[in-house]
Amino acid sequence: MTKGRRGPGKKGGPTRLESPANSRELAFSVLSEYKTSGRLIAPLLESHAQRAGLAADERALASEIAHGVVRRRATLNTLLQHQIDRPRHRVEGALWTLLQIGAYQLVLLGSVPSHAAVNETVNVAGRLGQPNWRGFLNGVLRSVARELTDQLTNLPAADAVPLNEGCYRRLSRPCFGDPDDNLQEYVVCAFSFPEWLIERWQRQCTADELLRTCFWYNTRGAVSLRVNMLRSSREQLLEALGGAGVIASAGVLPEAVRLAGTVRVDTLPGYREGWFAVQDSSAMHAADLLAPQPGERILDMCAAPGTKTTHLAERMRDDGTIVATDIRPDRLELVEQNCRRLGIGIVETRQVGRDGADLPEGPFDAVLVDVPCSNTGVLGKRPEARWRIKPEDLRELPQLQLRLLRDACDRTRPGGRVLYSTCSIEPEENQQVVHQLLTSRPKVQMEQELTHLPGRPADGGYQALLRFIK
């Protein structure tokens, strides 16, 4: 620990800049509001970036920093605390956010030179009207930089910080617990996950599988597109993407396209024309399993934002009826917006109550019930989710999920089918919910079940296709 570097004490100060002038200032403003409001990073970035009017490269760097700080906050906090005598809770919150922003660039964002990461972050303190923070920021961040070595390893160690794809960067001294003595403690701090979640996963998989999963969740993952076959073809979209310099390849399903890196989707060719939607390849299997047919009447429960809804409609060739329900009108507006952009006309939206008492009456040929869940299958793309979920959620959510599944079954015709879907990897939300339903409904049988493991090759999740015996 660096002696004498005690830092400014806590005193109320500014928490955001009204007009961010660069990527670090934008990231700071977004993270400050996230920490006070709990709102998601992506919409905060969009609203702040629009007001700031920054160039695309500045917005992209701000997005990487903001998402990265949320995702790796335990890693950053551990490394920073090794440099400061004062306990974290006695350092001004806005100053700690700046320390996290600087440390993320130094340790985990290899594309930014160290001097730029330090200097640009220190300059934000001046823009905040806090010149007394500059020396402290500069000293701590330079100390963090000195801890980093150029040595890489493929094994976890107390002096190794995980980067990506099984690679660790050596530090000049141990900052984490020894993984050989206590793997759970190491993973919690070095990979940045809640302790209860890692303890849970350790009981369910091997050490190698745990580390592989955590590496996967600490990357944003490739963007997957679903071609709208009503307006385009995969060949046409791939040609257009290639012409725009975007590296893309065909996915497993006939409408799937996988991009090589992260991009701003609304700038891609064909976006405004409704040629595609953004959807992970594992989520695409929901419509593929349910196999909706033209002319059918389908209920889509918990439909917002409409990604799976529109996939169903595309598979139906926009012929038939889909009733899309959700509990909030603003979320149903997202469904309608997606339908308009993709040129889909068979979707009827309907707001329902939380208790499900006013769900549309059946019978339906098929029902998709994409239930609210813990999101433990998509923690890479939703970095906030790992800090929001609590142990009690895995006791409470299955009760809601089972009720929704029963509601879906009550509205399905004899011979019809129900697709139960989650983006969770927890058995309580997946197999156990479906098993409870099957034991109480002798006329319902399991037809097919898919478990998607995170990173093999896409997001984690679960789908079960149920069919009603005539």
The CA-atom distances, in angstroms, between 208 and each of 144, 202, 257 are 29, 10, 30
The pLDDT-based confidence of 281 (bands split at 50, 70, 90) is very high
For the sheet containing 321-326, what is the strand order? Answer: 347-351, 321-326, 297-301, 364-370, 412-422, 461-468, 444-452
* Full DSSP string of 211-232: HHHHHHHTS----EEEE-TTT-
| Residue 3: predicted pLDDT | 42
| Residue 457: predicted pLDDT | 85
| Residue 221: predicted pLDDT | 77
Percent of the chain's residues with pLDDT above 70: 97
Instruction: List the catalytic residues.
Output: 423
Which domains are delineated in the chain? 23-217 (1.10.940.10), 224-278 (3.30.70.1170), 281-468 (3.40.50.150)
Average pLDDT of span 158-174: 96
3-state helix, strand, coil in the chain (%, to 5): 45, 15, 40
- Candidates 200, 225, 227; CA nearest to 214 is 200
Is 446 within 8 Å of 434 (Cβ atoms)? Answer: yes
Task: Say whether the peptide bond before residue 457 is cis (omega within 30 degrees of 0).
Answer: yes
Average pLDDT of span 270-287: 96
| Residue 203: predicted pLDDT | 95
Residue 12 has pLDDT above 60, yes or no: no
Average pLDDT of span 380-392: 94
Residue 93 has pLDDT above 90, yes or no: yes
Task: For residues 292 and 315, give the distance between their C-alpha atoms in angstroms, rounded to a whole number.
Answer: 6
Average pLDDT of span 59-77: 96
| Residue 14: predicted pLDDT | 52
Element (H, E) at 321: strand 321-326
Where do the H-state alpha helices sit in 176-303?
A: 183-187, 195-204, 207-217, 234-243, 281-290
Is 398 within 8 Å of 437 (Cβ atoms)? Answer: no
Where do the H-state alpha helices sit in 343-419?
A: 385-388, 393-410
Strands 321-326 and 347-351: parallel
Q: Could you identify the residue written with the tokens 């349910």? A: 290
Structure tokens at 360: 């549309």
Task: For residues 187 and 342, give the distance between their C-alpha atoms in angstroms, rounded to a whole number.
Answer: 42
Average pLDDT of span 103-121: 94
Task: For residues 86 and 96, give the distance between their C-alpha atoms in angstroms, rounded to a whole number.
Answer: 12
Supply the pTM of this predicted model. Answer: 0.92
Q: Could you identify the residue written with the tokens 């996988």? A: 258
Q: What is the pLDDT of residues 407-436, one digit of tens each?
A: 999 999 999 999 999 999 999 999 999 999
| Residue 4: predicted pLDDT | 41
Residue 143 has pLDDT above 50, yes or no: yes
Over the chain, what is the mean pLDDT?
A: 93
Average pLDDT of span 136-157: 97
Q: What is the pLDDT of residues 300-349, one digit of tens each?
A: 999 999 999 999 999 999 999 999 999 999 999 999 999 999 999 999 99
Q: Could you identify the residue written with the tokens 């809640």? A: 194
Q: What is the pLDDT of residues 193-237, one digit of tens each?
A: 999 999 999 999 999 999 999 999 998 778 999 999 999 999 999
Average pLDDT of span 168-176: 97
Q: What angle do CA 393, 455, 291 make, to 5 degrees?
A: 80
Average pLDDT of span 376-390: 94
The pLDDT-based confidence of 53 (bands split at 50, 70, 90) is confident
Residue 6 has pLDDT above 70, yes or no: no
